Amino acid sequence: MDGHPRLLKRAPRPLAARLARLLRPVAMAMGLGAAAMTPALAQHMSYNLPPDVSADQVARMESVRRGLFARIQANPSDLDAAFKYAALSARLGDFEAAISTYERMLIAVPGTPRLQLELGALYYRLGSLEVAQGYFDRVAARSDVPDPVRQRIEAYDRAIKAQKKETTGFSARITMGGRYQTNANSAPTGATVSLLDGFEFVLDEDSRGASDISALLSGQMRYKLPISRHGDVLEFGVAGSLSQFRDRDELISRAVEARVGPEFSLNRFGLKGARLSLHAVAGSAWLGGARYVDSKGISMGYRMPVGRRMQASALVEWRDEDYRNSTQWARAADLSGHRLRVNAILTRQLSADWQVFGGFTWERRTARVDYHAYRETGLQAGFSHRYAPLIGSDPRPWTVSALARIARRDNDAPNPLVSRRYSQESTEYTVQVVQTIPLTEKAEMQFYAGWRGANSNYDLRDYDDRYLGFSLSQSF
């Protein structure tokens, strides 16, 4: 089991599980052409980024592009051929050829918004944010820009600002909200449970699943100090959260965490857009008014683009966790031990408005008492979709996202209070849908609903919880 048995009047077991889920998001929350080619054609075989087409289409599109290039050489004023050539070059990943072509066209027809927009998008993809911003600003300054184009420019503006914050300066975010849960303490809903050795046990009221309403508040601050000309930074961060329940005082929680460490840009090693972070982390949490756990450890993260439409990220984190005995949690120290967690996610951009992701988690936890130790493996997948606002005059798109997760946990040893022969085996499920509505450039509202539950050979681990909530967030 993930904590103390529910056979006591105060049943901390589900609370330890809830605390673990609380700390995880705070902590967390990874060829040139042949020499025989003429210089004019050699550019066609050297791509800046992988092609945005399937491998079997590259040769055919390359042949078309060469034909367009021949037309341009024969008639440099053929803007139709030049535009098609630049667009095809961008799809094939040859951004330098596309940029040089658009820039030559811009000399012939200066101030053309379409050309400036395409140039801004290409420079953004190459990481030249200042140049890209200049082109976007020129287009946005015009009075005749259609709303879809203006929305596209605003999306690029937000992305550029977010990338700049990733490499320098101060950022902060505060979130508050409320939530209703049908089973706030993650406990069995029945009055009795069956022990594996053939006995039935009657649970008292405090040990049964109960609905509740909670108020939630969280915040985080981060400062990134540049430490090299390569884009390396030294990051300082602090995060905190608290939850207040209407009825279940033992669920009231507080948590705080700090982290510090470098984050390195790997561009210098040929890994364009990749970043590696190494942080020292430390935190404490309180549960039901008592200090519950102190933790310290190290965290290593890695993220990099994979092609033009995907990004991979990974996080490896190790922690030493010291649980504290108290009047309310008399056996909490039995949970003390180490936790190693690995998380990897791959995100794929299907279009400007659709994104999908999938990943896995693996966790190993040791404990002072062996039946609290376990291994857990999980899979998750989801999507997000941006769409035009349903109400109001604000043109910023709304976003709906969904997540599904399944995790399998196997404990090291039997809990003698439940079974002398069988260790706990459980599978946990989570399904969640989130609707995000932007209020201002830096504020948003979210409404979310979900279901989570667990099936286990230990009835004490079984639970079913549906929840509904909202939150308001402000970024700085």
**Which residue, 149, 48, 134, is CA-closest to 91?**
48
Q: Between vectors from CA 229 to CA 224 and to CA 235, what angle results, nearest 5°?
A: 15
pTM, two decimal places: 0.70
Does position 46 have pLDDT exceeding 60, yes or no? no
Split at pLDDT 50, 70, 90, the class of 465 is: very high
Residue carrying structure tokens 């420079």 = 123
Answer for the pair 311, 344: CB distance below 8 angstroms, yes or no: no
Q: Give me the domain span that covers residue 291.
A: 13-30+169-475
Residue 142 and residue 73 share a domain:
yes
Is the pLDDT at 105 greater than 90? The verdict is no
Supply φ then ψ for residue 396, to 5 degrees: -60, 135
Question: In this structure, what token pair is assigned to residue 70?
Answer: 């021949």
Phi and psi torsions of 7, nearest 5°: -75, -15
Cβ(129)–Cβ(161) below 8 Å: no
* DSSP 8-state assignment for residue 309: T
Q: Does 123 share its domain with 185? A: no
Task: Provide the pLDDT for residue 43.
Answer: 35
- Report how far residue 124's alpha carbon sits from residue 151's, in angstroms, rounded to the nearest whole number: 16
Q: What is the mean pLDDT of residues 331-346?
A: 95
Rounded (5°) CA angle 93-387-92: 10
Q: Based on the fold, state whether residues 17 and 117 are members of the same structural domain.
A: no
Q: Would 5 be classed as within a structural domain?
A: no
Domain boundary among 131, 164, 197: 164
Residue 32 confidence (pLDDT) above 60 = no
Does 393 map to a domain? yes
- Given this model, what pLDDT does residue 385 score? 93
CA distances from 302 to 87, 275, 407 (A): 32, 6, 23
Q: Residue written as tokens 């184009």?
A: 149
Last residue of a domain, which of 141, 164, 187? 164
17/78 same-domain check: no
pLDDT tens, 260-301?
999 998 888 878 788 999 999 999 999 998 999 999 999 999
E strand or H helix that includes residue 31: none
Residues contacting residue 147 through CB under 8 Å, at least 6 positions apart: 395
Residue 252 domain flag: yes
Reported as a single tens digit per residue, the pLDDT across 52-97 is 666 667 778 888 888 888 888 888 878 888 888 888 888 887 888 8
The pLDDT confidence band at residue 113, using thresholds 50, 70 and 90, is confident
Token reading at 392: 């109001």
Among candidate residues 247, 254, 251, 250, the one with its CA nearest the CA of residue 211: 247
332 and 188 within one domain? yes
CA 190 – CA 460 distance, rounded (Å): 10
d(CA 216, CA 471): 8
Query: What's the structural domain count of the chain?
Result: 2
282 and 416 share one domain: yes
Over the chain, what is the mean pLDDT? Answer: 83
Question: Is residue 376 over pLDDT 80?
Answer: yes
CATH number, domain of 49, equals: 1.25.40.10
Q: Which of 119, 143, 164 is the last residue of a domain?
A: 164
**What distance in Å separates the CA atoms of residue 236 and residue 260, rounded to the nearest whole number?**
5
Please calculate the CA angle 302-122-127 and round it to the nearest 5 degrees. Answer: 35
Q: pLDDT tens digits for 434-458?
A: 999 999 888 999 999 999 999 998 8
